[in-house]
Chains A and B, each alone.
Chain A
Amino acid sequence: MDVTLLSRIQFATTIAFHYLYPPLSIGLGVVLVVMEGLYLKTGLPVYRQMTRFWVRVFGLTFALGVATGIVMEFEFGTNWAAYSRFVGDVFGSALAAEGIFAFFLESGFLALLLFGWDKVGPRLHFFATLMVCLGAHFSAIWIVVANSWMQTPAGFRIANHGLGPRAEVTDFWAMVFNPSTVERLTHTVVGAWQAGAFLVVSVSAYYLLKGKFEDFARRSLNVGLAFALVASLGSLASGHASAEGVGRNQPAKLAAMEAHFPASAPADLYVFGWVDETKQRVYGVAVPGMLSWMLHGDSKTPVPGLLAFTPENRPPVQIVFQAYHIMVAVGMGLIGLSIAGAFFAVRKHARPPKWLLRLLVLAVLGPQIANQAGWMTAEVGRQPWIVYGLMRTGEGVSRSVSAADVVFSLVLFTLIYALLFALFLFLLDSKIKHGPLAEDLAASPKRA
């Protein structure tokens, strides 16, 4: 295998693994704000216990996010040096802004959130929780800005420089608010909210099934379900806007998402299917003309298909099609589950039936699968470009790195990440089995 393919596999592995954690931090951040806010408002000890329990879970996911995130900050330089030289102006700025505005805020107030319970008063502690949550969101903003620029570059010009050509920022705000930033950011953030919400839902449903920590579990479940419902519906709306944006900005990607081959014809919307890339057809269930209708309000309007692009400009079809359809199917399932859960939550004396609780326990996997599949759609769908229409992925790779180097690092990272994932599950499981602490019901001894 060549350096480009190996580097792509390594980037995919490290980012996919990293991306298990930040969505949890973003989603749990909001959950913590709600729970601690409820504690401040009502003074009920159980809300304090809930906050402290979820803070411990948050601490674990945050630590793994940091440990795996540091790789991401440097991997552009190690494996994608030519790309880094080309986009330093744009992409570097976004990463630096992320560090200054997001990571410092997050890590500073995280110290108070985790260890500051007895050092500061309850209001200041709540403020710290709010700032950690805000920091996690800022981080999403900058990194999605950077990634969106790779999808829909704007606000730049190509200039020749001593060491080679590069993209230089001409309009900072046009670069930040490039054509896909807003819809992609919204969709990413609500996806992260779903991850946090369904983790809380899952653990609470598990306690209810086991008949443990009843009050804690019921209240956690309600907070989780309310948030899950908002996030899941938001995901539908922002997902629709994102797909329309892809149709406008990256038609080849949209064609791959629905495996729409004809150069110009009305396009169907598949529920599921299997793509035969050589025969250029799909076996599956489709709603005829639906994609045309969703994009243009008319099922007869032609949509440019893959054949409208020369072969070297087409993304891989099967993987994009499948990833996209998995994301949509899981997303729909999560909407259904959160509506069903909310139906029982709002009725005072009704408890969710056992079958629903069991499904809710499993639902924690849903957002993780959908988030991974969604990013796979976005990133594989951008191929063969590293910066859409400007630089091919193969042109971005480091020239001083050998295939043997990347094999070494890929094997190393894969082994370490597999180990970390197993340890994460082990520690999370033991935290959940251990449950909330009775001592957390008591207010802090010292109030500053």
Chain B
Amino acid sequence: MDIDLNTIWFLLVGTLLAGYAVLDGFDLGVGILHLFVRRDEERRIFINAIGPVWDGNEVWLVTGGGALFAAFPAVYAGVFSGFYPAMILLLVALIFRAVAIEFRSKQPMAWWRRTWDVSFSVASFLGSFLMGVAFGNVIRGIPLDAHGEYLGGLPALLNPYALLTGLTTVALFAMHGSIYLVLKTEGAIQDKVRGWVNDTIIAFVICYATTTMATLLYVPHMSEYFKTHPWTFALPVATMLAIANVPREIFHRREWRAFLSSCAAVFGLMGLVGAGMYPNLVRGTDPSTSLSVYNAASSEGTLRTMLLIAAIGIPLVLGYTVSIYWIFRGKVKLDSMSY
């Protein structure tokens, strides 16, 4: 594989989106699981477990969107306008999620808290599901014209394959979230969430196996890259091993290692999607209309300038992220500044 500028940007945008899946994935997962605990204090612990970090995690999506706009404007424009109603629902879900976290504990009334608890959880579920559906469609292929405009409607987006990837995304984030909760909680509530880890892993593995079969049968172009580059088969194997490692680490109470395993699994799955898609970013139903790293890219000058910006910015970003996670390591404790 020749590493050219366009490919570097494929990897960079991919890394931002994978970073988003790893980081916001667990806090979306916490949201999906939120209604499974009933007591107010337990729900506050859930929200405060992600309290200091969820906003920074979402920045990965915002920056990923900006990077996509800068590096591959045709994808940004074609997909977001093409998937219009789904995109609007996704934005609504993200709005409700953000304000639910902020508003929930600001008032003592039971109805107030219940309303925002439901908003937080439904929005987390819907957001994860819609992102999964969008990915499924981009992978499977959508009808595009010669200018990169989407030709289908909303019903075409709700095909069985995309619904399956949507569900798989929800299961993945729920699994990832439950492992994060084990890391951030203690005592009785930790015993409860520890029990969820196996359930969510089983749910995810079922979804994942089904998606994999469906991909091999109905979306064969996704496996071409693996056939022509056999060594890349190590990636799906490593991903499965990372998932299999989670229950072992949980059993030995090595919570950090369990969580890192789960992060590796999410990252690996995004890598699988990336390897299957390359050099396309969006597959066209007619492959000649696909948006690739070449026909959808910005000018070479911009890709070069943006690479410089990324080279300055990304070390800073990693610095902040690691420091914040380090400072807020340990179990959640509620105080007067908590949500």
Contact = CB atoms under 8 A, between A and B. Distances in A.
Interface of A: 52, 56, 59-60, 63-64, 66-71, 73-74, 76-79, 81-82, 84-85, 87-93, 95-101, 103-105, 107-112, 114-120, 159, 162-164, 166, 168-170, 172, 398-401, 405, 408-409, 412-413, 416, 420, 423, 427, 430, 437, 439
B55 A66 contact: yes
Contacts of A163: 74, 147-148, 295-296
Given A74-B91, A81-B77, A103 B106 contact: no
A91 B78 CA distance: 16
B98 A96 contact: no
B160 interface: no
24 contacts: A63-B99, A70-B91, A70-B95, A71-B91, A73-B65, A74-B91, A78-B81, A88-B73, A88-B74, A89-B298, A96-B69, A100-B309, A100-B314, A101-B309, A101-B313, A104-B320, A105-B320, A108-B320, A111-B327, A115-B52, A166-B73, A172-B301, A399-B149, A427-B106
B84 A169 contact: no
B88 interface: yes
Given A81-B80, A84-B76, A409-B88, A108 B70 contact: no
Interface string B41-61: 000000000011101101101
A150 to B, nearest CB: 14
Interface residues of B, number: 72
Contact of A115 (B107, B309, B328): B328
Nearest to B73: A88
A73 B95 contact: no
Contacts of B316: 100-101, 104-105
Contacts of B51: 111, 115
B66 interface: yes
B24 to A, nearest CB: 12
Given A78-B84, A107-B58, A412-B88, 13 more contacts: A69-B62, A70-B94, A85-B77, A88-B69, A92-B66, A92-B73, A98-B66, A99-B67, A100-B66, A172-B305, A400-B149, A409-B88, A423-B99
A111 B84 contact: no
A97 B102 contact: no
B95 A67 contact: yes
A90 B73 CA distance: 10
B66 A73 contact: yes
Contacts of A84: 69, 73, 76-77
Contact of A91 (B56, B69, B299): B69
A117 B66 CA distance: 32
A180 B309 CA distance: 23
Nearest to B89: A412
Contacts of A117: 337
B5 interface: no
A120 B107 CA distance: 28
Given A98-B66, A101-B313, A399-B149, A79 B299 contact: no
A401 B63 contact: no
Interface string B309-336: 1100110110011011001100000011
A56 to B, nearest CB: 8
B135 interface: no
A402 B193 CA distance: 45
Contacts of A99: 59, 62-63, 65-67
Contacts of A412: 88, 92
Contact of A430 (B101, B107, B313): B107
B151 interface: yes
A98 B106 CA distance: 30
Contacts of B301: 89, 168-170, 172
Given A68-B95, A77-B80, A112 B324 contact: yes
Contacts of B232: none
A85 B74 contact: yes
A89 B73 contact: yes
B337 A405 contact: no
B87 interface: yes
The 9 A-B pairs at the shortest CB distance, nearest first, are namely A88-B73, A99-B63, A77-B80, A92-B70, A92-B69, A100-B313, A108-B320, A111-B52, A63-B102
A355 to B, nearest CB: 34
B299 A168 contact: yes
Interface centre among B58, B98, B296 (most CB of A within 10 A): B98
A169 B299 contact: yes
A159 B299 contact: yes
B59 A103 contact: yes
A412 B56 CA distance: 27
B235 interface: no
B73 A114 contact: no
A166 B314 CA distance: 28
B77 A408 contact: no
Given A107-B59, A169-B301, A66 B98 contact: yes
B149 A92 contact: no
Contact of B99 (A67, A109, A400): A67
B79 interface: yes
B63 A427 contact: no
Contact of A169 (B107, B148, B302, B335): B302
Given A104-B317, A108-B321, A77 B69 contact: yes
A114 B52 contact: yes
Contact of A79 (B52, B81, B96): B81
B306 interface: yes
Contacts of B88: 78, 408-409, 412-413
B103 interface: yes
A119 B327 contact: yes
B320 A96 contact: no
A439 B57 CA distance: 31
A109 B84 contact: no
A98 B85 CA distance: 27
A420 B52 CA distance: 22
Contacts of A96: 63, 66-67, 69-71, 306, 309
Nearest to B147: A163
Nearest to B59: A103
Interface in B89-133: 91-92, 94-96, 98-99, 101-103, 106-107
Interface in B150-207: 150-151
Contact of A70 (B62, B71, B336): B62
B70 A107 contact: no
